[in-house]
Structure 1
């Protein structure tokens, strides 16, 4: 093979490896920071307002103990919640 092609393929391989494994959105879990970013709000607004709204998806506690909450949310639940928030205009 051509040395230039081998070099290009090597660089491409490194870039692919740096991306890590892709988790499908229906299996992904998001941190509160990721949820806030997706929703376009601050982490504080997310934690103090949105996450406490009735009907908002419940978090999972992924900590090793029960005392410390390490909240995570199913990405598909957050996306579905957003879809339910659509404002329906009356004609």
Structure 2
């Protein structure tokens, strides 16, 4: 390798090492804003399923509309999405327990 190319590569690697060693501020997940794709990923469904079936549910958290250029983009508070999913799962568990006890008690 030519000495000039080696020096250039070394300088690039040093810059990269500094950039990687500098800690980045991480936004806690419960404070993040998720787009429809992130929400869909969290629920392991497609983005279209999320937008057509889940987001319109009456008890689903309301989106925050953020202006981006000439359009508006819906974002959801990740903490609200996770709390909604937890509450829905808990209601489902309670419903199953009630059904099981009603069947076994009858």
TM norm structure 2: 0.64
Distance 1:27 1:16 in 2: 25
- Greater helix share, structure number: 2
Instruction: Give unmatched runs, 5+ long, in structure 2.
Output: 1-12, 102-106
The aligned length equals 81
- Greater strand share, structure number: 2
Instruction: Give unmatched runs, 5+ long, in structure 1.
Output: 1-6
Distance 1:84 1:54 in 2: 14
Q: Classify 1:20/1:45 alpha carbon distance in 2 versus 1 (closer, same or farther; 3 Å).
A: farther
Q: Residue 15 in 1 paired to residue 26 in 2?
A: no
TM norm structure 1: 0.73
Partner residue, 1:77: 80
Larger Rg: 2
RMSD: 2.7
Deviating 4+ runs (over 4 angstroms): none
Pick from 60, 64, 68 the counterpart of residue 56 of structure 1: 60
